[in-house]
Structure 1
Amino acid sequence: MASTVINVPEKARRGEVIEIRTLIRHTMETGFRPGADGSIQPRDIIQRFSCRYNGEQVFGAELFSAVAANPYIAFHTVATDSGTLVFHWEGDNGFSQTETAKITVTD
């Protein structure tokens, strides 16, 4: 299991634009590099990332071989209601990880 760092404001005002930052520690392998024995190492990358806010997708990304190890993704959304943000990463070799964060929205 990869480790994650998620930065979401604990509180926001309704209608406020908030920044969400995520980082996942994952050893990325492009599938183009030769190993010590000269054979190409198999690809192992995170392919997709999504964020759902109270069940509605507010951000999604498709990642490719050129993405760095430990992908850092930052995006903005509007604080609408208190609730839960669900972050989901999918990758090669059946990799899947889901994390959550809570946000409180005030008027």
Structure 2
Amino acid sequence: MANGETTNVQTLIRHPMESGFVRDAKGEFIPAHFIQELTFEYDGRKVFVADWGTAVSKDPYVKFSFKGGNKGGDLKVRWIDNKGETDTTRVKIQ
């Protein structure tokens, strides 16, 4: 949501975020699988960057604000995880 000169962002990211320290029903460790870098860009400018590790929970919720952003503008969200998987999406600022 854009509010004057500040844009407030809230998002839920679907990802298992496995630490590698949890065991399955057979007692074997579930392999680590977690987001390493999360980036939000507005108008080609990085407005939020997070370097994550194994301590972030499943399906993380992210909330932050940044200066700038216009209603109807595009916010690009991208992540890469420890297995090399990536996801990118664009959302319209409301």
Give the TM-score of the pair, scaled to structure 1. Answer: 0.75
- Secondary structure, in 3 states, of the residue corresponding to 2:59? coil
Contact (CA 8 Å) 2:37, 2:52: kept in 1 or not?
yes
Cα distance between partner residues in 2 of 1:77 and 1:91: 24
> How many residues were matched structurally?
93
Q: Which structure would you say has the larger Rg?
A: 1
Give percent identity, aligned residues only.
Answer: 34
* 1:1-107 pair list within 5 angstroms: 9=1, 12-13=3-4, 16-80=5-69, 83-103=73-93
Cα distance between partner residues in 1 of 2:51 and 2:33: 14
Contact (CA 8 Å) 2:69, 2:93: kept in 1 or not?
no
- Secondary structure, in 3 states, of the residue corresponding to 2:83? helix
Cα distance between partner residues in 1 of 2:33 and 2:64: 24
Q: Which runs of 5+ in 1 are unaligned?
A: 1-8
Cα distance between partner residues in 2 of 1:88 and 1:23: 13
The structure whose residues are more often strand, as a share, is 1
Q: Which moved more, 1:50-59 or 1:20-29?
A: 20-29
Cα distance between partner residues in 1 of 2:92 and 2:16: 28
